Amino acid sequence: MTHSIHGWLFLDKPYGMSSNKALQKIRSHFGRPKGGHVGTLDPLATGFLPIALGDATKTIPYLEKAQKTYTFEATWGEQRTTDDKEGDVLSSSDVRPTPETIIETMPCFIGDIYQAPPIYSAIKMGGRPAYEKARRGEMPQMEKRLVVVHNLSLIETTDKTALFQMTCGSGVFVRSLVRDMAIAMGTVGYVSKLRRVQVGPFLEKDMVSLEKILEIQGGSGVKDQMHPLDVVLDDIPVVVLEDDLCFRFRFGQRILFDQMHLPVSRGDVLCRDQSGKPVGFAEVEDSVLHPKRLFNY
């Protein structure tokens, strides 16, 4: 494989593997192109992990803010150090919330809510991940952050567990949500299963397993599984540049337009050439197109 690979792979991240480990395996298989991923999944979580390779990494910010949907299982009766089943038991409770209690509590966790990230998380504190302090036996004070939960639904329950589905904005910790819901119901709990099933408009059916990705050999195999780098850019206004303007754009030159020929008066746009190929991002200001980030593939 060569470094001339640019696009998105929608990985179904396997259980027990960190998001970064999955990314590095894929990069290594394709000759170590530039790479990145959207939305870290814990090792014990599975599901949708968007992987950007090559120039697709320049489009990562446009997917990072997308809504995400998870299914997850909460187990009641134990508080654990990591707020998931990997951690040590800190405390226990005999209280098991009924389905009615869960349904009554859920509205408190929908909309704009404040939550403190788990101490075992990658949130930076003093330039270092919080989990490093936690592993040293320290108890980092995690500041509450405002996040948004768009919807939360109860799928099924047992005596000890409850299965939920949630759609939320970026920055929501499912482990924190389960921890806080349990406390609100007079008990303790942790996440025992977690799967991301959707990112933005992309669904579970769009995912591909790591094994299948690592079986790819040759250009045709890559094409079958990889999405073009602009697949995440459907919501961005587009400016189509004629050949001479495209040439100037690639050299970073500002371009003056008649305002009637621009889709916005201010803000970011995606520039394409006459064939429809994306050539880069620009910022529009006072009818002037300012090149911002170019694609080099």
Tokens 């939360």, residue? Answer: 152
Beta bridge partners of 115: 145
The pair of structure tokens assigned to 284 is 């529009």
Neighbours of 100 (CB within 10 A): 8
Of these residues, 42, 55, 83, 84, which one is catalytic?
Answer: 42
Is 268 a known active-site residue?
no
The CA-based angle 22-166-97, given to 5 degrees, is 115
Chain centre distance of CA 26: 17
Question: Do residues 170 and 164 touch, judged by C-beta distance below 8 A?
Answer: no
Q: Give the burial class of 188: count Cβ atoms within 10 A of its Cβ; 0-12 exposed, 13-18 middle, 19 or more buried.
A: buried
Strands 238-240 and 46-53 come out as unpaired
- Across the chain, the runs of DSSP E, i.e. the strands, are 7-13, 35-37, 46-53, 68-76, 78-80, 89-92, 111-115, 124-125, 128-129, 145-157, 161-168, 189-199, 208-209, 238-240, 255-256, 266-272, 278-285, 288-294
Give the per-residue SS3 of 74-99.
EEECEEECCCECCCCEEEECCCCCCH
> Integer distance in angstroms from the first to the last C-alpha of the chain?
16
Enumerate the active-site residues. Answer: 42
